[in-house]
Chains A and B, each alone.
Chain A
Amino acid sequence: MKELSIIVCAKQIPDPEAPLSDVSVDTDKKEVIVDAPLVINPFDENALEVALQLEEEVGGKITVLSLGQKVSDTVLRKSLAAGADDLILLQDDAFEKLDSHSIASALADAIRKIGEYDLVLTGRQAGDWDSGQVGLILGEMLDLPCISLAREIKVENGNVLVKKNIPGGYEQVKTRMPALVTVSNEVGELRYISRTKMMKMLRARASIPSWSSDDFVSVQGGLQKMEILELSSPPDMRRDCEFIDGATPEEKAGKLAAVFKALQ
């Protein structure tokens, strides 16, 4: 079978698993301040994992694209350590707080510049704005067949076969490549990357290509930012936790059983 060329779009976001105490809302600047390390959006990591599995199965090449105002080389190098072949950072001040349509438009330009590809994979949504639009708009812009919420992806004779989530089960669908597929977390987490491998990748001299807006965006000045009128904190979710103590697990269990009894 012909080798696959897969493009994975990966967004860098503040760690969505960050403790609540590390997150605050700056209502003046209209920004969510997260005092936690930047990571690759977990759903995009799921997409990368599928790409790696497909590459192992039929051979091919994986290119990871990451777009933002400023993209961290160190965060995204994880994708190379995991097994991606190429990484291209798309960074420019012009990419600050773009709306979904404009992000998709810039990614579409970058993908057209890369040229040949069989599959474009994105996570189902990103954990910063939770919009869930870029993948499907990108598919429309590139005039590709679009499949959303994939839980399993296979390729066969130039077709991509996908099990997609639907209410109460899944649907097996099929389309010709090239195609765009948005990936859900059922595909599984990104493979384990050993510390040595990660360190080696971080120390690797090879510089990561970085394109600025001028390098690939077709219509300069055509990108639109999100218009945020207000950003506020959500209602306080905290409750007063009564800790159940005890000298032994059995003692704690006994007290908890009494709590259940009282709630009955």
Chain B
Amino acid sequence: MSDVLILGEVKEGSLDIRTLELMGVGKRLAADLGTGLSVALVGDAASAAAKQAVSYGPDRVYKLEHPLLTGFNPDLWLASLEQACKEINPKIFLMSHGPMGMELGPRLAFRLNTRLTTDCIDLSIDPEDGLLLRTKPVSGGNAISKFKCPGEPQLATVRGKVFEPAEAADGEGMIVNVAPEIDESMIKVESIEVSKEDVVALDKADVVVAGGAGLDDEEGFEILQQLAEALSKHFGSVMIGCSRVAVDKGWISSDHQVGLTGTMISPDIYVAVGISGAIQHLVGMIQSKKIIAINTDPGCNMFKVADYGIVEDYEKVIPALVKRLEELS
């Protein structure tokens, strides 16, 4: 029996760290249910990833291989997974709460007539009925809710960096081919072009200087950029972040966005400039080691979570700060 299934994702030819985390939590749930873990891999060539997955000790690795499954076409992936779930009949199916899981999860839930809980930070088994207990942050992070849902498979997407990744384990996991019955007529949404952009890897920054609505205009980010450059002489990697509002206003691109629907980060220092601190922003940066807030409103949320605060107009204090930092170097 291998009733706990997870969706594996492959990045640059090898299993994504999120997949290892899913295997980690999946193994625990499988043990609690007295069953085994299996991994589903989708793609035009999944053999290498399947071999790699076996080395973490699952009972089974299902290969959903088809020449049409190059890249990520949601319509085809969905059809393949729907079919695989109907064949495999897992009790629990977990996906990572990334772009793929967010897109496939709700649609798969509908097609399998079950219910999904997204962005789970804890999962356990109800000993009474074997159903999945799903814990997730709600209200932007203002509360933590534990849900139970009917339906099979029990479906959830899982937040990254919450569960420990699985470790390599001995195992004679079987690789099983599930041939997806898909064809081009299933493609409802056609991909025209994939465009790569130079995006900031905010989660790799040592220091993040972030701006929000309080900057008042786009030029505010130029002032933040000067601070970032001054700080980069003292610290490793310094990057520019922002709140959701700054993206909505068109001041900066969304790869800089910190928070629940942006990037979740934990730099050594987070400098929040003109960010009032909506909860959905705070949850994205609260793990920062030190938080410095600059804001004109002494009552704003950001000061409540900050280590250091300056109540001042950023346009006055930051240029002076840049000057002092340059004198120090």
Task: Note whether A and B form a binding pair.
Answer: yes
Chain A residues within CB distance 8 Å of chain B? 14, 16-20, 23, 25, 30, 32, 34, 42, 46, 99-101, 104, 124-125, 127-137, 139-141, 145-149, 151, 161, 165-175, 179, 184-186, 188-189, 224, 226-234, 237-244, 249-250, 252-254, 256-257, 259-261, 263-264
The answer to whether A231 and B143 touch across the interface, beta carbons within 8 angstroms, is: yes
Looking at B75, B118, B253, the one whose CB has the most chain A CB atoms below 10 A away is B118
Residues in B whose Cβ lies below 8 Å from that of A101: 109-110, 115
Identify B102's interface contact among A104, A132, A169, A253, CB under 8 A.
Answer: A132
In the complex, chain B residues whose CB is within 8 Å of the CB of A140: 106-107, 110-111
Contact in complex: A175, B278 (CB < 8 Å): no
How many angstroms from the CA of A199 to the CA of B303 in the assembled complex?
35
Complex Cα gap A32–B308 (Å) = 29
Given A132-B118, A227-B149, A253-B320, A100-B311 contact (CB < 8 Å): no
Q: Known pairs A244-B309, A263-B269. 5 more at Cβ < 8 A? A: A231-B143, A237-B305, A243-B303, A244-B310, A259-B308
The one of B248, B268, B279, B291 that contacts A46, using a Cβ cutoff of 8 Å: B248
The 8 Å CB contact of A16, one of B140, B234, B318, B323, is: B140
Q: A253–B109 Cα gap in the complex (Å)?
A: 53
With A and B bound together, what is the CA distance between A146 and B189 in angstroms? 7
* Segment of B28-36, B173-181, B191-199, B217-225 in the binding face: B191-199
Q: Is the CB of B139 within 8 A of A137?
A: no
30 sample A-B contacts, Cβ–Cβ < 8 Å, listed by A number: A17-B276, A19-B300, A23-B139, A34-B139, A100-B115, A131-B117, A135-B106, A136-B107, A137-B106, A140-B107, A145-B75, A165-B254, A170-B197, A171-B194, A171-B195, A184-B261, A185-B244, A185-B248, A227-B147, A229-B147, A233-B144, A234-B142, A234-B143, A239-B291, A240-B307, A242-B309, A243-B311, A253-B317, A257-B321, A259-B308
Q: Say which size band chain B's interface belongs to.
A: 35 or more
Q: Which residues of A contact B279 (CB under 8 A)?
A: 16, 18, 20, 23
Using a CB–CB cutoff of 8 Å, the interface residues on chain B facing chain A are: 72, 74-75, 98-99, 102-103, 105-107, 109-111, 115-119, 133, 136-150, 188-197, 199, 231, 234-235, 244-245, 247-250, 253-254, 260-261, 268-269, 276-280, 282, 286, 290-293, 298-301, 303-313, 316-318, 320-321, 323-325, 327-328
| A175 engages B190 (CB within 8 Å) | yes
Q: Flag if A171 contacts B191 (CB, 8 Å).
A: yes
Q: Is the CB of B99 within 8 A of A167?
A: yes
- Supposing A185-B248, A231-B144, A253-B323 touch, asked if A99 and B149 sit within 8 A by C-beta, the answer is yes
Distance to closest chain A CB from B245 (angstroms): 8
Decide: B137 and A133 in contact? CB cutoff 8 A: no
Residues of A within 8 A of B291 (CB): 239
Q: Do the beta carbons of A229 and B188 come within 8 Å of each other?
A: no
Complex Cα distance, B117 from A192, in Å, reads 35
Query: Do A185 and B254 contact each other (CB < 8 Å), given the known contacts A130-B138, A148-B103, A170-B197?
Result: yes
Do residues A130 and B146 form an inter-chain contact, with CB atoms below 8 A? no
Contact indicator B107/A20 (Cβ below 8 Å): no
Residues of A within 8 A of B310 (CB): 243-244, 252, 256
Known pairs A100-B106, A242-B308, A249-B313; A263 contacts B290 (CB<8 A): yes
B residues less than 8 Å from A231 (CB atoms): 138, 143-146
Contact residues in B for A256 (Cβ distance below 8 Å): 292, 308, 310, 317, 321, 324
Contacts of A226 in B (CB 8 A): 147
Query: A84 to nearest B CB, angstroms?
Result: 19
Closest chain-B Cβ to A241's Cβ sits at a distance in Å of 5
A261 touches B328 (CB 8 A): yes
Known contacts: A169-B197, A253-B317. The answer to whether A260 contacts B107 by CB under 8 A is: no
- Residues in B with CB closer than 8 Å to A259 are 292, 308
Contact A249:B320 (CB < 8 A) given known A23-B142, A101-B109, A145-B189: yes
Distance in angstroms between the alpha carbons of A134 and B325 in the assembled complex = 49
Which of B103, B137, B199, B313 is close to A168, meaning CB atoms less than 8 Å apart? B199
Docked pose: A226 CA to B41 CA in angstroms: 31
Q: Are B141 and A234 in contact (CB under 8 A)?
A: yes
Give A97 Cβ to nearest chain B Cβ, in Å: 11
Q: Is the CB of B99 within 8 A of A166?
A: yes
Asked if B325 and A260 sit within 8 Å, CB to CB, the answer is yes
Contact in complex: A169, B142 (CB < 8 Å): no
Considering the complex, give the chain A residue whose CB is closest to the CB of B280: A16
In the complex, are the beta carbons of B106 and A133 less than 8 A apart? yes
Alpha-carbon gap, A227 to B327, bound state (A): 59
Is the beta-carbon distance between A170 and B146 smaller than 8 angstroms? no
* Nearest 8 Cβ contacts at the A-B interface: A253-B320, A257-B324, A249-B316, A145-B188, A189-B248, A133-B106, A136-B106, A253-B321
Q: Closest Cβ of chain A: how far from B54's Cβ, in Å?
A: 26
Q: Quick one: which of A139, A165, A263 has the most chain B CB within 10 A?
A: A263
Contact (Cβ within 8 A) B268 A260: no
Residue among B133, B193, B234 making CB contact with A172, cutoff 8 Å:
B193
Closest to A140 in B: B110
Say yes or no: A241 contacts B304, CB within 8 Å. yes
Partner among A127, A141, A171, A257 whose Cβ is within 8 Å of the Cβ of B139? A127
